[in-house]
Structure 1
Amino acid sequence: MSTGWSIYIIAIVALNIVGCVWLLWWTGKRRPGDPAPTDTSHVWDGDLTEYNKPMPRWWINLFYITIVFGIGYLVLYPGLGAFAGTSGWTSARQHDAERDAREATLATTFAPYGGQPIDTIAQDPHALELGRSIFANHCATCHGSSARGARGYPDLTDTSWQWGGDPDTVLATVLDGREGIMAPWEQVLGGPRGVTEVAVYVQSLSGTATDPALARAGKTRFDGICVACHGRDAKGNPALGAPDLTDRVWLYGGDYESIRTSISQGRHGVMPAHRGILGETRARVVAAYVWSLSNTPKQPVAASP
């Protein structure tokens, strides 16, 4: 804050304080010629009268005490321009102190799970409850409170995993995020006709009834271009994030128009990294919860205290 603005704010605050004191003093005193408290010239309906009684002195004094309190507050805490206050308090310092206290509590709560394998953590009912809470706060925005996802956001309760569903891979996805890119292929495939043929062939891979001639032509194009990511059997490649095209699980929709759009315009999906948001231990706990949604732990263990 510049010196000019600081002086301006201090002047405004001082003027308001002085104005409040003057207003209380001016309106609270009695002047020569004022009517007595029991005198009035305002009468309604013959017996309703308005008296000229000032506020009790103790009430006026409470207003003065409030002003003194306000001045003391401005001395102790920031409020007078660039003056930081004699107490040294700042909202940032209080925020950091409260954050550190909360982080210490969380560290104690999650300490038993530090470094443990995901499938081991998934056997602890208490850990799964903690993971469910973390998921609700950080993951449900995209994947839904039931973890069943939505268009463009994968269902975490099935067994179809774009990047792999083993415990270590799920943890890596939570910690460091993923970025899946499907490039637009319309020009490479020879225009709209080529896109149509490949879209029809891709539909046929999951058992949808299609035009056999278009599907055969689409297979030829698929085998020349798309196999690089999705493989000759079209079952995908988790190392690249290329999905299996032979099941009935579709991230962006399995109808003809959705598949055609994916091929012609491409797709770009991003799973943000949560290492810096959650830390490794909490990421392990929520990863264990996510993994447990599609995997049954072999042998439950006693919950951690």
Structure 2
Amino acid sequence: MSDFFSGFWGPFIAAISILGIVFCLWLLFTQRRYLGKEVENSEDTGHVWDGDLTELNNPVPRWWTVFYILLCVFAVGYLVLYPGLGTFKGVLNYSTAESVKQSQEALAEQIRPVYARFEAMPIPEVAKDPQAREIGQRLFLNACAQCHGSDAKGSPSFPNLTDKDWLYGGSPEQIMQSITKGRHGIMPPMAAQVSAADAAAIAQYVRSLSGLAADPLQVVPGKRGFENFCVACHGVDGKGNQALGAPNLTDDIWLYSSSSAAIVGAILNGHNNRMPAQETVLTPEQIRMLAAYVWGFSNN
């Protein structure tokens, strides 16, 4: 709570917290004539239920008053010790982020012996080890299955990890880099430069590159449009560029769809995909184990 992007929110939150406690004490003070007094004849509010259940205006018990005040004292003490007053970090300088970090470090130290015997093994050898694959599977299900699926075959916009079609390369080192640092693939929208008709022609040419049915009358102008707008990323032959994450357009593997409408939409509107980095979530040993497990999908 002590980290804000704007200078306004710190004082605002602090004021809300302090005024809330002050209001509680003010409310108790203004009602003090009803607190702890013994009343011989209780005031009847006039509300009666079920014939004989009457609501009376009795004073609250003394224990309730004491408990109420103690809660206010506790609130003040908490705000002094812990973050809660805007940018004030508290006397104890406690941070939930630091607490999580310490827990992660303690866990990493605890499980380090499990990974120790795999440190000197090449990743292809790790991928063959039954125990390593079991560990890798658990890591994959926790960190990767949400996007790539429990079978790693992906879904539209999430790559299939079981084939040999890699956007950024399928070597152990490249997979580790993808897991560690994440990836951010951007296909820029071309609507400002390419008309809908030209995009339709380019789509027909792209379909022809992978052997799909295409309008022969559109292929030739589509090729010209491809050479003008697409070769910088996908290459003259359409085989892509792993340095940029530009996909190969000549195979039968499509990250989104091979339909003409989907290709036209990609050309005009672009795509913006992000794979989150795992270096703050997983330890280097876990990333290496996970990379070996993923590498094993397409390398038996």
Same fold (TM over 0.5): yes
Check whether the contact 2:80–2:91 (CA below 8 A) recurs between aligned residues: no
Question: 1-side partners of 2:53 and 2:186: how far apart?
Answer: 83
Q: Aligned with 2:243: secondary structure?
A: coil
Report the Cα distance in structure 2 between the residues aligned to 1:220 and 1:49, rounded to whole angstroms.
88
1:22 CA displacement: 6.8
Say if 2:278 is the partner of 1:274.
yes
Return closer, same or farther for 1:61/1:288 CA change in 2, 3 Å cut-off. Answer: farther
Shift in Å, 1:167:
1.0
> Residue 45 of structure 2 aligns with which residue?
none
- In the alignment, which residue of structure 2 is the partner of 1:181? 186
Measure, in 2, the Cα distance between the counterparts of 1:4 and 1:162: 51
Query: 2:97 and 2:268 mapped to 1: Cα distance?
Result: 49
Q: Report 1:165-204 matches (<5 A).
A: 165-185=170-190, 191-204=195-208
Contact map agreement 1:118 1:168 (CA 8 A) in 2: no
What is the CA–CA distance in structure 2 between the aligned matches of 1:183 and 1:7, rounded to whole Å?
A: 49
Matched, 1:284 2:295: no
CA distance in 2, matches of 1:8, 1:224: 64
More moved, 278-287 vs 246-255:
278-287
Instruction: Give the 5 Å matches for 1:1-305.
Output: 8-9=19-20, 11-15=22-26, 25-26=36-37, 29=38, 31=40, 63=64, 66=67, 70=71, 73=74, 77-78=78-79, 92-93=94-95, 96-97=98-99, 99-110=101-112, 112-113=114-115, 117-185=122-190, 191-222=195-226, 226-296=230-300
Equivalent residues, number: 272
Give the conservation status (yes or no) of the 8 Å contact 1:118–1:171: no
CA contact 1:236–1:244 (8 Å) conserved in 2: yes
Contact 1:77 1:88 in 2 (8 A): no
Q: Distance in 2 between matches of 1:239 and 1:188?
A: 25
Q: Distance in 2 between matches of 1:206 and 1:10?
A: 69
Name the CA distance, whole Å, in 1 between partners of 2:159 and 2:197: 30
Which structure ranks higher in relative contact order (CA pairs < 8 Å, sequence separation ≥ 6)?
A: 1
Q: How far, CA to CA, are the matches of 1:21 and 1:180 in structure 2?
A: 65
Residues 172-206 of structure 1 show CA distances to partners (whole Å, capped at 9, x for unaligned) of: 111222233334456766x4444333211211222
Give the Å deviation of 1:256: 0.9
Aligned equivalents of 1:7 and 1:267: distance in 2? 47
Go from structure 1 to structure 2 and tell me whether the alpha carbon gap of 1:15 and 1:268 turns closer, same or farther (over 3 Å shift). closer
Structure 2 gap ranges (5+):
1-10, 43-49
Aligned-partner SS, 1:278: coil
Determine helix, strand or coil for the equivalent of 2:282: helix
Question: TM-score scaled to structure 2, two decimals?
Answer: 0.67
Q: Could you list the runs of 5+ residues in structure 1 that have no partner in the other structure?
A: 36-43, 55-59, 297-305
RMSD: 4.4
Cα offset, 1:171, TM superposition: 0.8
When residues 61 and 110 of structure 1 are mapped into structure 2, their CA distance, relative to the original with a 3 A threshold, is same
**Structure 1 contact 21–64 (Cα < 8 Å) conserved:** no
- Identity between Structure 1 and Structure 2 (%): 34
* Residues 249, 24 of structure 1: alpha-carbon distance in 2 compared, 3 angstrom cutoff: same
| Stretch of structure 1 that moved more, 260-269 or 67-76 | 67-76
CA contact (8 A) 2:210 2:250 kept: yes
